[in-house]
Amino acid sequence: MGFLLTTRGIPSFLYGTEVLLDGYAPEGNGFVRKDFPGGWTGDAISAFDQSTLSQGQREAWQFTSTLLNWRQNNPDVMQGGLIQLEPFEDVYAYIRVGPNKQLLVIINNNSGEPRRLEGSKFQYTIDPKSKVTNVMNGEVSNGLGNLILSHKSILILELTAP
């Protein structure tokens, strides 16, 4: 989802994705989209009331909501250029470029171990004095220090020139 919402183009995903709605039916019927949970009499789970969602569903909804709001509020970056960086050790990174800020997206596709990345790896495309804001949790730092990415994770950083 993080890749879909930060790369070029208009993202498209099915309803319920934000609450991990699955849709497989037994007996080889293939993919059958379920009713959206909530709003109907007798629904045990309601995606409109987060208290009825599982922890995983709440986390998925929060991730999607946070990223969609960031995307909506930063059209200059989302409509700007895309710089792909050289993949290394199951890590893929790219930068979305706007007139006043950039978005650095790092995806660790390794299923085993976390990856430690030195911020200096990105210094040839990023001002080392940039203000760095983690889009997902709001943490702010000056410059890219050492980054640790857990396995199968994504790190999304907003970079603002000093």
- What tens digit of pLDDT does each residue of 35-84 get? 788 878 888 888 888 888 999 999 999 999 999 999 999 998 889 999 99
What CA–CA distance (Å, rounded) separates 162 from 156? 19
- What tens digit of pLDDT does each residue of 130-154 get? 899 999 999 999 888 888 889 999 9
Question: What is the pLDDT at residue 29?
Answer: 60
Q: Name which CATH class applies to 76-160.
A: mainly beta
What CA–CA distance (Å, rounded) separates 121 from 106? 12
Nearest C-alpha neighbor of 105 from the set 130, 129, 136: 136
Cβ atoms of residues 102 and 95 within 8 Å: yes
Q: Determine what percent of the chain falls in helix, strand and coil, rounding each to the nearest 5.
A: 25, 30, 50
Question: What is the pLDDT at residue 105?
Answer: 95
What CA–CA distance (Å, rounded) separates 34 from 56? 18
Q: How many CB atoms lie within 10 A of CB 37?
A: 19
Q: Which residues of the chain form CATH 2.60.40.1180?
A: 76-160
Sign of CA dihedral 32, 3, 54, 69: negative
Comparing 36 with 109, the larger pLDDT belongs to 109
Both tokens of residue 91?
């890590």
Percentage of the chain beyond pLDDT 70 is: 93
pLDDT over 90 at 93, yes or no: yes
Sheet with 140-142, side-by-side order of all strands: 81-84, 91-97, 101-108, 153-160, 131-134, 140-142
Residue for token digits 């599982």?
54
Comparing 125 with 4, the larger pLDDT belongs to 4
